[in-house]
Amino acid sequence: MKGNHTKLKWFGLGVLCTLITAGILVSCSKKPKVERGDTAEAAIATYVAPGDTDEYYMFYSGGHSGNVYVAGVPSMRHITTIPVFALYPATGYGFDKETKDMLGSYTWGDVHHPALSQTNGDYDGRWLFVNDNANNRMARIDLRDFKTKQILGPIPNISGYHGGSFVTPNTEYVLAASRFSVPLPKGTYEPIENYATKYNGIVAGVPINPQTGEMTVGWQILMPPFDFDLGSTGKGPSEGWAFWTCYNSERATGKLEVTSTQKDRDYVVAVNWKAAEQAVKEGKTKTISGVPVIDPKLAPGVVYLVPAAKSPHGVDVTPDGKFIIASGKLQSITTAFSFDKMMTAIQNKDFSGDEDGIPVLNYDHVKEAEVNVGLGPLHTQFDDQGYAYTSLFVESSVAKWKLGTWEVVDKIPISYNIGHLSVAGGDTMHPDGKYLVALNKLSHGRHMNVGPSQPESSQLISITGEKMKLLYDAFTEPEPHYAQMIKADKVKPIEVYPKEEMKNANAVWDVKDTGVTRDGNNVLVKMIAVRSSFEPNKIEVTQGEHVTIYLTNIEQTTDELHGFGLGEYNLNVVIDPGEMKVIDFVADKTGVFPYYCTNFCSALHQEMQGYLLVKPK
C-alpha cells in the first residue's frame, strides 16, 4: 500500500511537471501578437533618404533628464538634445558663467510639457517653453539657435509646476499651476492634518514679453488645496480663458491613490484671464512672496469650477475654440463641455455649489456630449479634418472620434500604455493632421534588450486615411510627457552667430587682441579658438587667483564648434561658430593643467591644446 502511495505520488508529480512544461510551451507559442502596419508602406512613409530632411520638428520633453529632445518626423530620428534644467557637458551647458548662473544651484529638473509660441492661435516658430515639475521653474528656448535663454524661478508660491507650459493664442501668457499644494508662503510649517484648510494650490499666468520672449512672474490665483494637473488655453470664441484639470478635490492626504478617488467628480478650473488682469489692476489682490495673488472670494468672475469625471488629466480645447474636452483617467468616457453653455450658466448664475467661494457649474448644464472613447482616457489632440484623438492609458490604444457627431470611428492598439499624444499642430487653431505620435510609458522590451532600465517608446501613426496606421516605433529617453510637432519650414534657425552681432567688447577676433591681463586678484584672459589652436595657448596664474576667460570661437562656418576642456578643474565649455562664452573659476589647485579642444574640429584637432600653469602662492 505504502509503495502504491509513493508510486501515485510520483505519478502525480510527473503529470504536474508535464502540465507545467506544456503550459510553458503553450505560453511561449502564445507570445502577444505584435501590432504592425503594412511593412512596405510604412517603410516608404518613414524613409528619409540620405541628405534629405524631415518634414516636421518634434520637440519632446525629456522629463527628469531635464532636457528637451528634438526628433525629425517621419523618420523619428533623434537629432539633437537641448539641455534646459540639468548640466549637459556635450554642449558645455551649465559650465560657462551664463548657463551656470541660469541653473543656479539646481542640478536637475523635470521637464514636462513643451509649448511652442503662437501667433493668432498657430505656432509661429519663435520660442519653446517648458516647465519644471520639480523645482517650479519655466524655461524659454529660443528657436533661432535652439538654446535655453531664460529660466524663471523657482516661481514663488507654485509647488509642483505640472500645469504648464500652455500658451495663450498670442503668447501673452504661459500657464502655471501647483500640483502639490503647500502652506503659503513657502517656508511656512503647517501640520499635514491641516491640509484641507491651511494648504493652498495656485493657478497662474506667466506673462511673456511679445518682442523678447522675456518671462516675468505675473498674477496668481489662490486656490483650494486640489492637485492641479494639466491645462490649455481658450481660442477663437473662448480666447481669454484658461483651463486646468485638478484631482484630489477631496482635499485628502496620505495614500492619495485611495483617498483622492472617493468622489465621482473632480474639476476643470476655468479662469477668465482677462478678468484676472482686471482684478490685479483694481488691486483685488494680496501679496504673497512679492506676487499679487487674487483671492477668488474677493474677485468674483475670475474663476469657476466645472465638474469633470474623477481624476482627470488632459483638458483640451477644440481648434474652433467651442468645446473643452476633459476625461477622467478611471472612466471610459470623455466629456465635451460647451464653452457657450458655460458662458450661459455663468451669466445665469446657474451654479450647483461652491468650493471656498468659487462657483461650481452644473455638469449636466454645460456638458455637450459624452464620448465613449474607451478605458482610461488621458489626453486629446485634433487634426485638420474635424477629428479628435484621445489616448487611452488603461486600454493602451488611441481612439479617433468625430467632433460634432461624438462617435468613435477608429481605434488602434498602442505598445504600451500611452500617456500623452501629439498631432502635428494638434493644439492650435489650424492643426496639420498627417502624423500622430503616441508617447508611451512602457516599452516592455519591444526593443533590443538593454537590461532592466528600459527606454520609453514613441510610436508614429499616420492619420491621413480613414484608419490610423502604425508606421514606426522609436525609443525615447525618459520621459516624453508631451511633444509638439511643427512644420519644419516654420522654424528658421541660424547655424552661425554672425560676427556683426557680437556686442561684447571682451570678445576678440584677432590673435593680436588676445592675451592675459591682471587686475588685483583677477586674471582676465581674452582667448580665441579657431582651427586648430587656442590663443593664448598658455595661461600663467598664481594659486588663489580668480581666472576669467572670455573665449571666442572666431569661425564663421557651420558646424565648426570648438570645446574647451580643462582637466581636473571640472570644466568643459563648447563654443559655437561666432559665439563667446565666459569661463570663470578660482585657480585653487597648483600645478600644470592641460586645456584642450573637446569638440572635434579639424585634422589637427588633437593638437588644439594649451596649458594652465598655477604657481604656488
Partner 1 sequence: MNLKRFLARETSFFELPLTLKSRLLILIAVIALLPVYLSPLWNMTFYSNQYTDGLVLHIYSYQLEGGKTPNRDDLREINSLNHYIGMRPLLESDFSEFTWIPLVVGLLIILALRAMVIGKMSNLVDVFVIFVYFGAFSMWSFYHRLYMYAHNLDPTASIKVEPFTPPFFGSKQIANFTVNSFPGLGAYAFFAFAFLLLVAILLSARRNSVEVRRSSSLNEDILGPL
Q: Are strands 285-288 and 291-294 parallel, antiparallel or unpaired?
A: antiparallel
Binding to partner 1 (CB under 8 A): which residues in 90-149?
none
> What is the rounded distance in angstroms from the CA atom of residue 437 to the CA atom of residue 463?
10
Tell me how many residues contact partner 1 (CB under 8 A): 14
Which stretch, 402-410, 441-449, 461-469, 488-496, contacts partner 1 (CB under 8 A)? Answer: 488-496
With contacts defined by CB under 8 A, name the span among 135-143, 350-358, 366-374, 599-607 that binds partner 1.
Answer: 599-607
Cell of 378: 488621458
Of 394 and 488, nearer to partner 1 (C-beta) is 488
* x-marked contacts with partner 1 along 209-248 as a string, rule CB under 8 A: ----------------------------------------
Task: For residues 104 and 19, give the distance between their C-alpha atoms in angstroms, rounded to a whole number.
Answer: 62
Pick one of 498, 567, 591, 594: the residue that binds partner 1 (CB under 8 A).
498
Provide the strand spans (E) within 77-191. Answer: 78-83, 115-119, 122-132, 137-142, 147-152, 173-177
Q: Is 530 among the residues that bind partner 1 (CB under 8 A)?
A: yes
Q: How far is the CB of 496 from partner 1 (least distance, A)?
A: 5
Smallest separation, CB 604 to partner 1 (Å)? 6
404 binds partner 1 (CB under 8 A): no
Closer Cβ to partner 1, 24 or 604, answer by number: 604
- Contact with partner 1 (CB under 8 A) among 29, 30, 603, 617: 603
- Shortest distance (Å) from residue 605 CB to partner 1: 12
Burial class (CB in 10 A: 0-12, 13-18, 19+), 532: middle
558 binding partner 1? (CB under 8 A): yes
| In 372-509, alpha helices (H) | none
Smallest distance from partner 1 to CB 556, Å = 4
Of 186, 531, 546, 605, the residue at the interface with partner 1 (CB under 8 A) is: 531
Nearer residue to partner 1 within complex by CB, 325 or 529: 529
Smaller CB separation from partner 1, 354 or 495: 495
Q: Does 494 bind partner 1 (CB under 8 A)?
A: yes
Nearer Cβ to partner 1 (206/528): 528
Question: What is the distance between the alpha carbons of residues 79 and 210, in angstroms, rounded to a whole number?
Answer: 29
Minimum gap (Å) between residue 601 Cβ and partner 1? 11
- Phi first, then psi, for residue 43 (nearest 5°) are -65, -45
Residue 495 in contact with partner 1, rule: CB under 8 A: yes
Distance separating alpha carbons of residues 414 and 455, to the nearest angstrom: 16
Near partner 1 by CB under 8 A: residue from 385, 557, 570, 606: 557
Enumerate the β-bridge partners of residue 267.
246, 307
Q: Which is nearer to partner 1, 25 or 604 (CB)?
A: 604
- Of 599, 471, 440, residue with least CA distance to 91: 599
HSE (side-chain half, CA atoms, 13 Å) at 102: 23
Residue partners of 62: CB distance under 8 A and separation at least 6: 68, 69, 81, 111, 477, 478, 479, 480
Joined grid coordinates for residue 429: 487653431
Residue 168's Cβ-count burial label (10 Å; 0-12, 13-18, 19+) is buried
Q: C-beta of 264: minimal distance to partner 1 in Å?
A: 58
Q: Is 537 in the site for partner 1 (CB under 8 A)?
A: no
The span from the CA of 30 to the CA of 24, in Å, is 10
List 21, 120, 522, 556, residue binding partner 1 (CB under 8 A): 556
Contact stretch for partner 1 (CB under 8 A) within 109-117, 327-335, 387-395, 492-500: 492-500
Which grid coordinates are listed for 342? Answer: 458655460
Residues 108 and 66 sit within 8 Å (Cβ to Cβ):
yes
Quote the least distance from Cβ 593 to partner 1, whole Å: 25
Binding mask 70-99 for partner 1 (x = CB under 8 A): ------------------------------
> Are the CB atoms for 47 and 72 separated by under 8 Å?
no
* Cα separation of the two ends of the chain: 96
Q: How far is the CB of 492 from partner 1 (least distance, A)?
A: 10
Q: Residue 493 Cβ, how far from partner 1 at the closest point, in Å? A: 10
Cα–Cα nearest to 91, from 573, 497, 455, 416: 573
Q: Which is nearer to partner 1, 23 or 498 (CB)?
A: 498
In angstroms, rounded to a whole number, what is the distance separating the alpha carbons of residues 609 and 602? 13
Residues written for the chain: 617
User: Contact region for partner 1 (CB under 8 A) — 410-418, 427-435, 545-553, 603-611?
Assistant: 603-611
**All three cell numbers of 436:** 500622430
Q: Which residues contact partner 1 (rule: CB under 8 A)?
A: 494-496, 498-499, 530-531, 555-558, 603-604, 607
